[in-house]
Amino acid sequence: MTTTRIAVAGAGYIGLAHMGVARSSPTCTLSAVVDPSPSARAPAEQAGVPLYASLAELLAKDRPDGVVLATPNVLHVPQALECIAAGLAVLLEKPIAPTVAEAEQLLCAADAANARVLIGHHRAHSPIMAKACEVVASGRLGRLVAVMGSATFFKPHEYFADAPWRSQPGGGPILINLIHEVHNLRMLCGEIVAVQAFASNATRGAAVEDTVAINLRFASGVLGSFMLSDTAACARSWEQTSQENPAYPSYADEDCYVVAGTHGSLSVPTMRLKTYARPGDRSWWKPFECSVVGLQRADPLTLQMEHFGAVVRGEAAPRVSVRDGLANLRVTEAIVQAARSGATIELSSHSSS
Ligand SMILES: NC(=O)c1ccc[n+]([C@@H]2O[C@H](COP(=O)([O-])OP(=O)(O)OC[C@H]3O[C@@H](n4cnc5c(N)ncnc54)[C@H](O)[C@@H]3O)[C@@H](O)[C@H]2O)c1
C-alpha cells in the first residue's frame, strides 16, 4: 500500500506531536518538516526527514500529499491559503484564525477551491466524545435541557514566562483553551446562539482574563453554564480527566461536563449515566438506575492523523470543517465581547453561515 506523505509546518509543542503520530501511522508517513527556527533541525534529523525554512521551499522541492500547519495563530490563514492555492490538503491547527474576519476570508477561498481542509479540534476524534454523542442521540437522556462544563486548571508561572504572548491580548484561556470546549459543547448540544460572560484577571493581574463564568443558549433551547480558569487548583478539565494525554495527571473521580435531559444525565468523561427506569419514576424522590457507559479509549491525535490521511486521499470529508472552525471562533469572540460589554451577545443570525 502506498503511504500518504504528510509534511508538518511548525516543529513546536504540538507540531512535534503531529510529527510523532505521522511517523507511527500505518497509512501516513512524515515526509518533511517546515520551520525557519534552528531548533527544528534536531527533530527533523531525528525523524530522518528534510527540513525546509518555508512552505514555498517545500512546495518547490518536495511536494507532499498533505500539510499540517502547527504554526503560530497569525500564520494560520496566510499559510492555509498558500497550501490551498497549491492544491494541497491541510490540517490546520486551532484556532482557525486569530479573528472571525480572517476565518471568513479562508472560508471563501476554501469554498471557491473546493479545498480539503481539516481544522485541528482533535477532541472531535476522541472515542469519549463519540460515545457521549451516541448516548445523547440515543434519546436515553430524554430531551436535553442543560449542560454544565468546566475547564479549571492551574497553569504554572513558567507557562507564561516561556511564552509571554500567552498573558497578552491574543492569548488568555478563552482563545487558547475555551475554543476546544466550545467544539465539544457544539458536538454534544448543537449550535450556540447566545452567550453572556463575566471575566476576571484579579488573581494573575495580567492583561488577559484568568477566570471566566459563561452562560450559553443553544439553538435547541438547551441552556449551559461553563467555568473557565487557568488559576484554579482544580482538576475539572478535559486534560485532567480524559486520560487522553499522559502529560497530564488524571483523576478518575472528576468530570468536566454533565449533560442533563428530561430522563437522565451523563457525566463526561467518567461516563456515569443516571436514568429513570420508567417515565413514572421521574422524581427526585426516586432512585436513578446508575451505570457506566463502556468505551475503548484511544489517542485522538493519532485518530485525527488517520482521518486526515483519508481526507488527503479523498476518502473522507473533514470531520471538523472550516465552517466548524469558524463557528467555534465566533463563539469565543462573542464570549470576549460579552465579558467586555456585560451584554448578551446573540449569534443566531450567522452561527452556521
Ligand atoms: N490541538 C491542540 O491541542 C493544540 C495544542 C497546542 C497548540 N495548538 C495550536 O498549534 C499552534 C502552534 O502552537 P504551539 O504551542 O505548538 O506553538 P510553538 O510556539 O511551540 O511552535 C510553533 C512553531 O512554529 C514555527 N514557525 C514560526 N514561523 C513559521 C513559519 N513561517 N513556517 C513554519 N514554522 C514556523 C516556530 O519556529 C515554532 O517551532 C497554535 O495555533 C496553537 O493554538 C493546538
CB 183 within 8 A of CB 123: yes
Query: For residue 2, what is the DSSP state?
Result: P
| Ligand 1 centre distance from Cα of residue 192 (Å) | 28
CB 35 within 8 A of CB 15: yes
Q: Which atom of ligand 1 is nearest to the CA of 75?
A: 31
Query: CA-CA distance, 116 to 89, in Å (whole number)?
Result: 5
Would you give the distance in Å from CA 81 to the centre of its chain?
Answer: 21
> Helices 322-341 and 179-189: crossing angle, nearest 10°?
110
Instruction: Please give the chain's pLDDT, 353 residues, in tens.
Output: 679 999 999 999 999 999 999 999 999 999 999 999 999 999 999 999 999 999 999 999 999 999 999 999 899 999 999 999 999 999 999 999 999 999 999 999 999 999 999 999 999 999 999 999 999 999 999 999 999 999 999 999 999 998 887 888 878 899 889 999 999 999 999 999 999 999 999 999 999 999 999 999 999 999 999 999 999 999 999 999 999 999 999 999 999 999 999 999 999 999 999 999 888 899 999 999 999 999 999 999 999 999 999 999 999 999 999 999 999 999 999 999 999 999 999 996 554 43
| Ligand 1 centre distance from Cα of residue 14 (Å) | 6
Query: CA-CA distance, 99 to 108, in Å (whole number)?
Result: 15
| Ligand 1 centre distance from Cα of residue 69 (Å) | 8
pLDDT of residue 342: 97
Query: CA-CA distance, 141 to 123, in Å (whole number)?
Result: 22
Q: Which atom of ligand 1 is nearest to the CA of 163?
A: 19
pLDDT of residue 352: 42
Query: CA-CA distance, 291 to 230, in Å (whole number)?
Result: 32
Residues 298, 47, 51: CA angle, nearest 5 degrees? 120
Residue 170 falls in which region: left (phi positive, over 0), alpha (psi -120 to 50) or beta = left
Query: CA-CA distance, 218 to 352, in Å (whole number)?
Result: 12
Half-sphere exposure (Cβ direction) of 221: Cα atoms closer than 13 Å: 5
Cell of 43: 527533530
pTM of the model: 0.95
pLDDT of residue 162: 84
Residue 85 CB partners (closer than 8 Å, separation 6+): 113
pLDDT of residue 290: 98
Q: Does 71 contact ligand 1 (Cβ within 6 A)?
A: yes
pLDDT of residue 353: 38
Q: Does 70 contact ligand 1 (Cβ within 6 A)?
A: yes
Q: Which of 337, 327, 132, 128 is nearest to 214 (CA)?
A: 337
For the sheet containing 28-34, what is the strand order? Answer: 51-52, 28-34, 4-9, 66-69, 89-92, 117-119
Q: Does 15 contact ligand 1 (Cβ within 6 A)?
A: yes
Q: Tell how strand 4-9 and strand 28-34 pair up.
A: parallel
